[in-house]
A and B are shown apart, each in its own frame.
Chain A
C-alpha cells in the first residue's frame, strides 16, 4: 500500500511541472537559481544603472557570514554620495547631502522562500526561455528571457553567470520593446571569504547627529484584513500579502497590500486623506509607475514595476468592503 501513496503523491506534485514545456522549465530553474545566488554568494563589483533619465554607476558588495548573517552594501559612485546598507532584514539608507538616515525593516520571509509557489504564476504570465550566451563584465552568462503574454506587464531579460547563476545584467522593456531600465555589472568578483569591511557603512559613525527617520522600523507586519478589496482582478496578479504598517514620514498606520504575478509586484498603500492632496497623479521612477487616487476620505497610492495601465487599474478597482455593500 506504500507504492500507490507514493504514486499519488507524485501525481499531485507533477502537473504544475509537467504542464510547462522543457524550454520554459529550464528558464524557471535559472530564475530560481538567480534568486538564490544573489542571496547566498559572496560578490563585490560595480554596476551601471540606466533609466530613461540617467545612467549611474554604483558599487555593490554582498557577503554572507558563515557564522550567520547576510550583509550588503550599495553606494553610488557618481554625483553626491549615497549609501544603502543591508544587515539581514534591516535596510538603512544614508543620504549625506541632506544628512538623513532612513531605517527600514525588510520582510524576513524573503526569496527564494517565496519563489517556488510563485514560479507557476510566472509561467502563467510570461514565456520563459533560455537563449544563447553572452559576456558581461568578463563573465560568461546565459540569457534568460521573460516575454509577457499580455501587455499588463513588462518584458525582462537577464544574463545569469554560467557557473553560479548570479544575475550579471537585468533589463526591462515596455510593451513597445523599448528599454525601460537596466542594471549591468561592469566589473565583478564572485566568491572569496567573508569580509566585514566591504559591507561596513562609511557614514554610520558620521551620522550621529543626522536626521534619522525610524518611523518605518517598528513594523506591525502581521497579516491583517485591511478592509479593502479588488472588485475586478487583473489576470496573473495574485495578492501576496496584506497588512497595516508604519511608514517613514507617516503619522498614522498605512494599509499595504501587495499583488504580484511572480515577477512584477504592485503595492497599494491606503492612508487617511492628507491635507490638500486630493488629486489623481501619475508619476514614474525608473520602471516603477506611481499612481495616486482619492477614494472617499482616503488616499490610495499604487506603485510597481508594471505598465501605468496595470498600476492604475489595480488602484481603480480597489474598494472598501463596507462601501461596496452600502453603495449597491
Chain B
C-alpha cells in the first residue's frame, strides 16, 4: 500500500501514477486503502465534509466529460493537460466508488442498530458505533423552525415546561453570531 500513500502525496512520476490509478480502478482492496487514507487525512484535518464535496464535484465534471473515462492507452508524448485530465478522471472514478462505498452504510443501515434493537440487553454496543460515519456538526440554529415545531410534542418539554425552548433561542443567537 506504500505506492498508494505515495500517490496521495504526489511522490510518484506520471508513469507510476498511471499504474497506481489503473490499479485503484480494478483492485477493491487498493481502493479501500485509498479511501481509508483519505478519510484518515480528512479526519486529521477535521475536513470530513470536504472529501464528500470533492467527490461530488468530480462526479459532476465526469458526467460532463464522458469520453475521458476511456483515454487512449498508449500515446508516447502526451501533453500535460491531457494527462492531468486523465488523472482527474481516474481520480473521480475512484472518488465516486469511494463516495458510494462511504455513503452505503448510511443509507439503509439495517445491520448494527436493528441487531441491537432486537436483543437490547444482550448487545448493548453497536447502535452507538454505527452513526459516526457522518460527522455531527453543531446545528447553529438552522433548524429552529423545526425544533420549535417539534418541542410542542416532546414529552420532556411537557415535563419541563418552556425551559427546553432555550435550546432554540440559544442556537439562533449562536448561529447569528457566527454568520
Contact = CB atoms under 8 A, between A and B. Distances in A.
A129 interface: no
Contacts of A62: 161-162
Interface stretch (B4-12, B16-24, B81-89, B124-132): B124-132
A280 B103 contact: yes
B103 A151 contact: no
Contact of B128 (A234, A247, A309): A309
A163 interface: no
A279 interface: yes
Contacts of A60: 161-163
A79 B138 CA distance: 19
B2 interface: no
A241 B116 CA distance: 26
A86 to B, nearest CB: 6
Interface residues of B, number: 61
Contacts of B174: 53-54
A149 B122 CA distance: 11
A303 B147 contact: yes
Contact of B153 (A80, A112, A260): A260
A216 B148 contact: yes
Nearest to A291: B134
Given A279-B52, A290-B143, A301-B143, A308 B131 contact: yes
B-side interface mostly: helix
Contacts of A250: 145
B113 A309 contact: yes
A93 B162 CA distance: 11
A249 interface: yes
Interface in B131-158: 131-132, 134-150, 152-156, 158
Interface string A100-119: 00101011001110110010
A28 interface: no
Nearest to B128: A175
A39 B161 contact: yes
Contact of B117 (A86, A104, A235, A264): A235
Contact of A35 (B139, B152, B158): B158
Interface in A205-246: 216, 232, 234-235, 240-241, 245
Interface of A: 31, 34-35, 38-39, 47, 49, 51, 53-54, 56, 58, 60, 62, 72-74, 76, 79-80, 82, 84, 86, 91, 93, 95, 97-98, 102, 104, 106-107, 110-112, 114-115, 118, 149-152, 156, 158, 167, 170, 175-176, 181, 183, 216, 232, 234-235, 240-241, 245, 247-250, 256, 258, 260, 262-265, 267, 269, 279-286, 288-291, 301, 303-305, 307-310, 312-313, 316
Interface of B: 52, 103, 106-110, 113-114, 116-118, 120-121, 124-125, 127-128, 130-132, 134-150, 152-156, 158-174, 176
25 contacts: A38-B159, A38-B161, A53-B174, A58-B163, A73-B162, A74-B165, A76-B170, A79-B173, A86-B162, A91-B148, A93-B168, A93-B172, A104-B149, A110-B152, A150-B117, A150-B124, A151-B120, A152-B127, A183-B160, A262-B155, A279-B52, A288-B167, A290-B146, A304-B154, A307-B127
The 6 A-B residue pairs with the shortest CB-CB distance in the complex, in nearest-first order: A150-B120, A111-B158, A283-B139, A267-B150, A82-B169, A308-B131
